[in-house]
Amino acid sequence: MSIVSVSAPPAAAAFLRRFLVCVGWSGLGLVAVAVVLSDFLAPVPAGATHIGPLLSAPSARFPFGTDLAGRDMFSETLHGLSVTVAQACEAAAPAILAGGLLGFMSAHLPRPAGLVLRWAIGVLAAVPALLLAILALGLIGRGFAGIAAGLAVAPLAFMHAFDRAGAAGNSVYAGYARAMGVSASTLLRRDLAYEFRDRFVSSAARAFVTVTIVLATVGFLHFGAEPPQRDLGLMISDATATDMQAWWTAVFPALGLLILILLARLAAGPDEGARP
């Protein structure tokens, strides 16, 4: 067997991974453009009722049909996508900073302190993020759904970053560096630089995926955005009363949510699972 035949599969797999990541980020870029231009692309404002016949099927005039209140589903889906993306971006920030960055820093604390902190955060991480988000919303109010989702996902991000930083600190390289007199602060700066260079983008995309799922579920349960600023989760929930006779009221918001999550997951890359 030649060297070419042995090395070709890994090279092809690496190319496929890079291609899928590019597809994910390109798709997210298009989503961002649609969100920024949503007020221009949407024919009617968010929440405008009696724009057309009630529960009208998709047609040339209404490509996504209308809902029970006569709202244009195409416009509503665009506006709902905008609300979902805005909340997810707001939620990803605390998930990354309060979770990932603190987890990384905690792994470089003295070992007893780091393990105690990891245990304490691990207790929170054992609670489903959805329940933590609902609890946070009860404390800070529905107007802060993005922050609540970010704080709910932060324990998962903390654990993931802590374990990854701990593995790097126990590596052969780190052992040699300490034996040669390299200070702990120097190792911390070095590991932090590599963390941002190699992991930040994929970690941010994974956090975006997780908070989007939490936000959509919270919205579906009517704990998130309030009308007329409906997110995709709330739109799907509102469609449950008519989805059997008017499938388009639920299908198009669900497709928008599915595409958004799929693109973000592709952008995160295939490694290390779907958690932030």
> pLDDT digit string (tens) for 8-66?
467 887 888 889 989 999 999 999 999 999 889 999 998 899 999 999 999 999 999 99
What value does the mean pLDDT of the chain take?
Answer: 84
What kind of fold does domain 3-51+65-268 have according to CATH? MetI-like fold (1.10.3720)
- Identify the CA nearest to 187 among candidates 203, 166, 201: 166
- 3-class DSSP assignment, residue 254: helix
The CA-based diameter of the chain, rounded to the nearest angstrom, is 77
In order of 23, 174, 267, the CA distances from 26 in angstroms are 5, 37, 9
Residue spans per domain, the chain: 3-51+65-268
> pLDDT digit string (tens) for 66-80?
999 999 999 999 999
Higher pLDDT: 254 or 273? It is 254
> pLDDT digit string (tens) for 228-259?
788 999 999 999 888 788 999 999 999 999 99
What is the full DSSP assignment across 113-144?
HHHHHHHHHHHHHTS-HHHHHHHHHHHH-GGG
Cis peptide, bond prior to residue 227, ω within 30 of zero: no
The pLDDT of residue 110: 82
Range from 122-126, 142-146, 259-263 that averages highest in pLDDT: 259-263
Separation between Cα atoms, residue 164 and residue 196, nearest integer Å: 13
Looking at the predicted structure, is the pLDDT value of residue 202 above 50?
A: yes
Beta bridge partners of 72: 66
Higher pLDDT: 199 or 139? It is 139
What is the full DSSP assignment across 141-154?
-GGGHHHHHHHHHH
| Residue with the two structure tokens 């797999």 | 13
User: pTM of the entire structure?
Assistant: 0.83
User: Average pLDDT for residues 184-212, to the nearest whole number?
Assistant: 74
Mean pLDDT check: name the lowest of 26-35, 134-143, 170-179: 170-179
The pLDDT of residue 271: 62
The pLDDT of residue 274: 46
